[in-house]
Structures are given as C-alpha cells and as structure tokens.
Amino acid sequence: MPHLTLELPSMYGDHHVVEVRNLLLALAGVEDVYASSSFRIVEIQYDKTKTPPEQIETVLGEAGYLGEMPMPTETAVPATKSNGETFFRHTAAFEQTGKSVGFTQQVTYSGRPLWPCPGMGPIRES
C-alpha cells in the first residue's frame, strides 16, 4: 500500500492532529494516518486507485496546513486605527465555540507574530 509523508508547518498543536486525521480519514481509500504536532509531519497509507496523492495535498492545502505558515505581525498601531479603518483585534466569534468573546487590552509590540490556527475560522454570516 502506498505511503505518503508530508510536512505540515501549521500543525503545531494536538487539536490540529485531530483535525488533520479527520480530514484525511474522510477521504475514500485512506487507510491509516499518523500525524505528529511535535515533528509537524503526517504519514498517510492510502489506496492510490481510490485517492490520488494530489487530492490528499489539495485537502490539506485548502485547510491551511501545507505551505508556509502565514504569520501576521503586531503593527504597533492602536487597534482602532489601521489604514483609516476601525477594527478590534481578538474579538471574533469562532464557529467551534458558539460564543462571542470580546475584550480590550494594551498590547505592546514585541516583534513576535500572532500565530494563526488552521481549522478554526471566524463565523461567516450566511
């Protein structure tokens, strides 16, 4: 049975391991998935006749796990003033929690990126 190993830079937590396994095991022909957030790799055993490797990579890419991890950096601009638009940092409601959490705080610029989290996106109005 074919074996595919991929590096997933955005799989940095155990909740990502669960999400990656769910995504891959839902594909026809995927027999076994080993995912490690420590090493940021996934090993997949699959039936090539049911699922081509390109489809596996497409699913992981669409979920945000392949390629370079986007890292927005802190701008050192007040949260209510950015390019003339008003916005509030860290006040989005996430579809997995079902609740909206809002707060304000003084965040000093430390040169550190704010890390995104694949698998957890903001709620979209339908």
DSSP H helical segments within the chain, as ranges? 14-25, 53-62
Over residues 56-82, mean pLDDT: 72
Neighbours of 36 (CB within 10 A): 14
What mean pLDDT, rounded, does the chain reach? 75
Higher-pLDDT residue of 120 and 30 is 30
pLDDT at residue 120, as a whole number: 59
Kindly report whether the global pTM for this prediction surpasses the value 0.85: no
The domain limits of the chain are 3-62, 70-126
Higher-pLDDT residue of 10 and 70 is 10
The correct answer on CATH 3.30.70.100 for the domain covering 3-62 is yes
Over residues 12-29, mean pLDDT: 92
Over residues 10-34, mean pLDDT: 92
84 sits in the region (left: phi over 0; alpha: psi -120 to 50; else beta) called left
Q: Is the pLDDT of residue 33 over 60?
A: yes
pLDDT at residue 113, as a whole number: 46
